Amino acid sequence: MATTSRGRAQDRAKVAGGQDHEVRYEAKKEGVSKDTVKKAVKSAGNSRKKVEAEIRH
């Protein structure tokens, strides 16, 4: 697992709903608005697979 500049483990299997760059990336990737991604994270949790499934549903 990759580490951040602070030495923490970075988990790419999760979407940090509070991080604008992650929300922007997921929104662009899925072709939806940032608000849609934030709502999906709130309802499905922060697992990237669950968020993507929620968006596609």
What whole-number distance in Å separates Cα of residue 10 and Cα of residue 14? 9
Distance of CA 22 to the CA centre of its chain: 6
User: Counting Cβ atoms within 10 Å, is residue 4 exposed (0-12), middle (13-18) or buried (19+)?
Assistant: exposed
What whole-number distance in Å separates Cα of residue 28 and Cα of residue 13? 17
Asked whether the beta carbons of 36 and 55 are under 8 A apart, the reply is yes
What confidence score (pLDDT) does residue 8 get?
Answer: 78
What confidence score (pLDDT) does residue 34 get?
Answer: 96
What confidence score (pLDDT) does residue 37 get?
Answer: 96
What averages of pLDDT result for each successive group of 10 residues across the chain (57 residues)?
A: 74 90 95 96 95 93
What confidence score (pLDDT) does residue 31 get?
Answer: 97
What pTM was computed for the model?
Answer: 0.81
